């Protein structure tokens, strides 16, 4: 395999996983919900937001730690955009959801960056490229 292809493999893997997560999160965020019933304890949806955006922000900084800031900003902007257009899909925008999205994005990106740096320094990613 050419050296250029070896360098591109991690970014392609990270991008693909991120796109799949983005599609799932967008579909779930814009799908109309039945508001008549209660869904779990009060505030548990904020945990779902943190976990979802943690997962969305995780793959790219893991594979390319130097993209951490851009990924975090992009994921936060994406979460904000989704919150802004939810009214078009019979959903309600929430500042609390936006904050939870941002917390998940920042924590996910920072943890992925640190783990990615550790894996690069330890040489573990050299095994992925072979």
Domains of the chain, residue spans: 3-31+45-128
Q: From CA 38, how far away is CA 95, in angstroms rounded?
A: 20
User: Is the distance from CB of 109 to CB of 68 less than 8 angstroms?
Assistant: yes
For 68-92, the pLDDT digits (tens) are: 999 999 999 999 999 999 989 888 8
Cα distances (angstroms) measured from residue 38 to each of 16, 41, 99: 34, 8, 22
- Residue whose token pair is 């991120």: 18
Q: Going by C-beta distance under 8 Å and a sequence separation of 6 or more, which residues neighbour residue 31?
A: 89
- Greater confidence, 31 or 9? 31
User: Is the distance from CB of 105 to CB of 77 less than 8 angstroms?
Assistant: no
**Is the pLDDT assigned to residue 130 strictly greater than 50?**
no
């Amino acid at each position: 395999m050419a050296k250029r292809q070896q360098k591109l493999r991690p970014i392609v893997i990270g991008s693909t996983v991120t796109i799949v997560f983005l599609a799932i999160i967008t579909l779930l965020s814009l799908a109309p919900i039945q508001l008549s019933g209660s869904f779990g304890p009060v505030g548990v949806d904020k945990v779902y937001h943190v976990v979802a955006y943690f997962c969305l922000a995780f793959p790219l900084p893991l594979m390319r730690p130097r993209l951490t800031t851009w990924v975090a900003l992009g994921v936060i902007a994406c979460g904000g955009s989704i919150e802004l257009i939810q009214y078009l899909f019979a959903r309600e925008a929430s500042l609390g959801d936006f904050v939870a999205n941002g917390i998940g994005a920042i924590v996910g990106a920072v943890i992925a960056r640190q783990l990615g740096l550790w894996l690069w320094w330890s040489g573990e990613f050299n095994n992925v490229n072979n």
